Amino acid sequence: MRNIRATAMLVLSLVIGLGAAVMAAAWVQQKGDTASKQVVVAATDIELGSRLNPQMAKLVPWPSGQVPDGSFSSVEELNDRVVKTSVLRGEAILDSKLAPIGTKGGLSAVIKEGNRAMTVRVNDVIGVAGFALPGNYVDVVVSTQQDAAGSDGKQISKIVLEHILVLAVAQEANRDETKPKVVSAVTLEVTPGEAEKLDLARSVGTLSLVLRNQVDNRSVDTAGITKRQLLVGGEAPASEAPKAAAPRPAPVHRAAVAMTNPRRACVEVIKDGIMTTECF
Q: Which residues contact 16 (CB under 8 A, 6 or more apart)?
A: none
**pTM, 2 dp:** 0.60
In this prediction, residue 238 carries a pLDDT of 43
Cα-to-chain-centroid distance, residue 237: 38
In this prediction, residue 176 carries a pLDDT of 72
In this prediction, residue 26 carries a pLDDT of 76
**pLDDT tens digits along 105-148:** 788 888 888 999 999 988 877 778 888 888 899 999 999 887 75
**pLDDT tens digits along 11-30:** 778 888 888 888 887 777 66
> Is residue 252 predicted with pLDDT exceeding 60?
no
> Which of 4-13, 17-26, 204-213, 235-244 is predicted least confidently?
235-244
Compute, in degrees rounded to 10, the torsion defined by CA atoms 256, 257, 261, 264: -90
**pLDDT tens digits along 30-68:** 665 556 789 999 999 998 888 899 899 999 998 888 888
E strands within 52-154? Answer: 57-63, 116-121, 137-145
In this prediction, residue 7 carries a pLDDT of 78
What is the residue extent of each domain of the chain?
A: 1-34, 39-108, 113-232
Domain topology for 39-108: Type Iii Antifreeze Protein Isoform Hplc 12 (3.90.1210)
In this prediction, residue 153 carries a pLDDT of 57
